[in-house]
Structure 1
Amino acid sequence: MTLRIWVLCVALFTFSLGISQNTQLFAQATEQYNKGEYTKAIESYEQILQNGLHSAELYFNLANCHYKLNAIGPSIYFYEKALLLKPNDAEIKNNLKYAQNMRLDAVEEMPQTEIGKAYASIVNLFSFDGWAYLSVFLMIFFVFCYLAYYFLRNASHKRIAFVTSIFSMILGVIAVLLAYLQYQEFKSNNPAIVFAKEVKITSEPNENSEAVFILHEGTKVNVLDDLNDWRKIRLADGQTGWLRNEHVKLLKDF
């Protein structure tokens, strides 16, 4: 028992030490950014990443630093990663648009139906983690309202508690469903950002294959398949092709 307590104390101390170190690094990086020392700020933020901490704020600040250095690929890459964690953050979306304006490629997305747009806006309102947390909260609220219904004596109060409990349970089930749909969508998409200044997209995964189109740094693609050192990608407009692994960087690598 004594040994277990000692191990727990060491683990807690290490955890608190890590939080303290990351907090200091974040403050240091922010100060470097405010001084215009963007390269140093990037090094500090990346050290936090190496410590195992990932957050929308961290990726957002990294993106801002790269944007200030006119690094198109890295800035878009980190804005997109921040957006994965906070899909409805207006500031991230706004800065991402500025960074995307620096790209050479203008890829038009395939048109969606009104029903498809409505579905996407609802499902993407939160990440699948967000929907899951909301469902847990609603289920707890359901239990609380049901207990209130059981213990209250006033008839009108009991009626309100009962209706509220049923309503919260239905919303909780819907939140679970939306979390599942969002998770399935998250798994089905494997987005990446082109990091090469210019890369030929070929029809087959080999150097001798015909080039079907050319992409430039910062363009977002969806990875469909892997074969040896090659990746098959699809653009938002439906075009597909192959490129070597080193020319793209996956967004969902955390």
Structure 2
Amino acid sequence: MKSLIYILALLIGSLTFAQNENLFEQGNTLYNNKKYAEAIDKYQAILDTGMHSSELYFNLGNAHYKLNHIAPSIYYYEKALLLNPKDKDIQNNMAYAKNMTIDAIDEVPEVGISKIVNSITNIMTYNGWAVMSVLLFVLFVLLFLTYYFAEYTVRKRMAFTASFFAIGSGLITLMLAFRSYSLDKKTNPAIVFAQESQVKSEPNLSSQELFILHEGTKVNILDTVNNWKRIKLADGKTGWISSEDIKKI
């Protein structure tokens, strides 16, 4: 019975994959024929099945950009970058889309040691740093055993020095893994979808208006109270915005 269920699951998965491939090709054809709204429907149908990829999000961003949909184009480019952060085409198209936004927000530059540490941390994900730290600790154990059982003084010194380097590197990569995890938890980006949205000093309509944001602006969600989100901008400004006005990436 379990084998039959497994086979049926494989068949359904294969059919879904084939159907999505067909929808993707149809969407590309419609896009090339400048039928951007119809192309979006095809791409969205793929997302509705639970499948996603950087290529799919990239094409959705392109289609929305052609229709001058500022917020959706930036939103899907951001999602594409999450899956493929080094893709130059996504980065370039994102820059074009951001040129359509109204809000000019200057990012606060990182300086000093913090900039160096964050640059190193962002080389890999926290999973990557964690795997590397485990490998280095395993290497340390092997080198220490080599040192312990070595008969010759030269081999002992080499094994000891290498094991010391391995344990030191392992501790550093472990700290980078924890830092990367911490930074990832603090990052909760969203895009403003409302054409114009008031940012308040408190999570209620009667509170003071701090500033106004427009569609396509990227924010970072810090907290949630009822249907309000506390956000932070790249320039350090914070405030409360209606949950309906933003869409989490």
TM over 0.5: yes
Task: Assess, with a 3 A threshold, how the Cα gap between structure 1 residues 167 and 39 changes in structure 2: closer, same or farther.
Answer: farther
Distance between the aligned counterparts of 1:34 and 1:78, measured in 2? 19
In structure 1, the partner of 2:59 is: 61
Report how far residue 141 of structure 1 moved: 11
Distance between the aligned counterparts of 1:39 and 1:173, measured in 2? 52
Q: Which amino acid counterpart does residue 114 of structure 2 have in structure 1?
A: G
In structure 2, the partner of 1:159 is: none
Distance between the aligned counterparts of 2:18 and 2:36, measured in 1? 23
Q: Could you tell me which runs of 5 or more consecutive residues in structure 2 were left unpaired when the two chains were aligned.
A: 141-160
1:87-145 per-position Cα deviation (integer Å, ceiling 9, x unaligned): 22222111111111111001111121143333333322344456567779999999xxx
Q: 2:122 aligns with which of 113, 120, 124?
A: 124
1:110 aligns to what SS in structure 2?
coil
Task: Assess, with a 3 A threshold, how the Cα gap between structure 1 residues 232 and 8 changes in structure 2: closer, same or farther.
Answer: same
- Normalised to the residue count of structure 2, the TM-score between the two structures is 0.81
Q: Which amino acid counterpart does residue 122 of structure 1 have in structure 2?
A: I
In structure 1, the partner of 2:221 is: 223
Question: Does structure 2 conserve the Cα–Cα contact (< 8 Å) formed by 1:87 and 1:126?
Answer: no
In structure 2, the partner of 1:154 is: none
In structure 2, the partner of 1:191 is: 189
In structure 1, the partner of 2:151 is: none
**In the alignment, does 2:90 pair up with 1:92?**
yes
Task: Assess, with a 3 A threshold, how the Cα gap between structure 1 residues 178 and 39 changes in structure 2: closer, same or farther.
Answer: farther
Distance between the aligned counterparts of 2:227 and 2:238, measured in 1? 17
1:157-213 per-position Cα deviation (integer Å, ceiling 9, x unaligned): xxxxxx999999987876665444333212111111100111111111111111111
Query: How many corresponding residue pairs?
Result: 243
In structure 1, the partner of 2:145 is: none
Task: Assess, with a 3 A threshold, how the Cα gap between structure 1 residues 137 and 91 changes in structure 2: closer, same or farther.
Answer: farther
Distance between the aligned counterparts of 2:139 and 2:37, measured in 1? 48
In structure 2, the partner of 1:4 is: 2
Task: Assess, with a 3 A threshold, how the Cα gap between structure 1 residues 179 and 32 changes in structure 2: closer, same or farther.
Answer: farther
Distance between the aligned counterparts of 1:55 and 1:136, measured in 2? 30
Q: Could you tell me which runs of 5 or more consecutive residues in structure 1 were left unpaired when the two chains were aligned.
A: 143-162
Question: Does structure 2 conserve the Cα–Cα contact (< 8 Å) formed by 1:87 and 1:124?
Answer: no
Q: Which amino acid counterpart does residue 246 of structure 1 have in structure 2?
A: E
Distance between the aligned counterparts of 2:129 and 2:246, measured in 1? 30
1:21-54 per-position Cα deviation (integer Å, ceiling 9, x unaligned): 1111111111111111111111111111111112
In structure 2, the partner of 1:78 is: 76
Q: Which amino acid counterpart does residue 8 of structure 1 have in structure 2?
A: Y
